[in-house]
Copies of this chain bind each other. A is one copy, B any other.
Amino acid sequence: MKIMRSVEQLREALSGQQSIGFVPTMGFLHEGHASLLEQARAENDIVVLSIFVNPTQFGPNEDLDRYPRDEIRDQQLAQSAGVDYLFYPTNEVMYPLDMARVTVRSGDDVLCGASRPGHFDGVLTVVSKLFNIVQPTRAYFGLKDAQQLALIEGYVADYFVPVEIKRCPIIREADGLAKSSRNVYLSDREREQAPGIQQALVEAKQALDQGQPLDTVLEKTRTLLQFEGTTIDYVEAVAYPTLGPIDATTETILLAVAVQFESARLIDNLLYTRGA
């Protein structure tokens, strides 16, 4: 595995490659990232991992400064997962002029977009730059960030970006908690509460399977997510991947939740296909 810090260096290495699988991340890698890398490894000649804590997707009161970092462990995981090139840009590399941003016009008024104004503008800005740098054949994103994935798919379609976006499943701890770099923020007590998020989603799925009305299911999910010392950021259902309102024609529902713990905001979701 080679570590690259400049665009020119990476482009030279990638020039003429047949197929490139790309996994963009913010580092502090866990098994969720590893599963993306493994799929990229299986499907491409070359695997590129980028690690960049992108400042433009953090709000002014968010955790940019304390976002967890562990370069050595990340490099070990990347090496084990068969990464060929690890790209570590700095802010100066990624934002040479910062003279334009990608601005989302629809699909960011719900879920995390409503809670985090400008977050997805920052995500699409950096992802579009990374796509231009790496020019991947396929790029891999986890369904844990379901809204992010839908917006990236939308951007790729809307802007004709020549890349195939791969949706990858949520990877969980043994007790069901969705893997996240931010889980490290949790106190012991919070870590015990946190698997309750997925339990609420499992119950939601059962209720939907039983034909209960969506509003009832959402209300029940809200009740189940009332952990002591936490607040619910949102419990919402939207059509997927349009992120628009659910109507009679909606095939796939995204039921997504965000819970604010004292020092971490955790998200999880359920993709539910009607009649399946």
Contact = CB atoms under 8 A, between A and B. Distances in A.
Interface of A: 7, 95-107, 124, 128-129, 132-133, 135, 151, 154-155, 157-162
Given A159-B128, A160-B133, A101 B105 contact: yes
Contact of A100 (B96, B98, B155): B155
A107 B99 CA distance: 8
A210 to B, nearest CB: 35
A160 B129 contact: yes
A91 to B, nearest CB: 13
Q: Top 10 A-B pairs ranked by shortest CB distance?
A: A97-B158, A132-B160, A103-B103, A99-B154, A133-B160, A99-B106, A100-B104, A101-B103, A99-B158, A100-B102
A162 B163 CA distance: 15
A22 to B, nearest CB: 14
Nearest to A7: B160
A105 B118 CA distance: 14
Contacts of A103: 100-103
A274 B216 CA distance: 72
